[in-house]
Amino acid sequence: MLEVFWTKGYAPTSLDELAATAGINRPSLHAAFGSKHDIYLACLRHFEGRMEENIAECMRVGETKHDRLQAFFRRTIDLYLSGSPESRGCLVLCTATAEAVCNEVVRKQLEAALRALDEGMARLIAGNASPSPAECLQGELAASIVHSLAVRARSGAARAELKKLADMSVMLL
């Protein structure tokens, strides 16, 4: 079901599509998973968990923040372009931003996801140490690059273009 929301967004995704993806009928879908809104929020949380796992795995990649950031951006680009034939970007950034305008629960989920990404990027930059205030700001900047990669991937940017932006960002950070 995550894949359907990721490709189409929240509003255009129908309960029939979600039920078909789950291989069950609509009443069973509701009984098993709750409302469309509940399913969407669970998908957002699951995707956020994938990003946290990505950060944790990249913490083990190398000794330098350069190595860790480069690994993170490359893995993130791979994830954002994984929706062949469509480039989907980030489920959270590319779908929740539209829903957050009129849905407070999604807005709070989006806010929490953005904060978690900022904090995760600061940890990635700091390595095993507690992030300094400067590293927290660098983390926010690195997270902003992640946002840009997500939107650019969603708009159909080529892997080479995304990689070039990520590599330059690592050099600047």
pLDDT tens-digit map of 54-98: 999 999 987 899 999 999 999 999 999 987 667 789 999 999 999
Q: Answer for the pair 52, 120: CB distance below 8 angstroms, yes or no.
A: yes
Fold type of domain 44-172: Tetracycline Repressor; domain 2 (1.10.357)
- Domain edges within the chain: 44-172
Q: What does residue 92 show for φ and ψ, rounded to 5 degrees?
A: -70, -55
pLDDT tens digit sequence for 16-62: 999 999 999 889 998 999 999 999 999 999 999 999 999 999 999 87
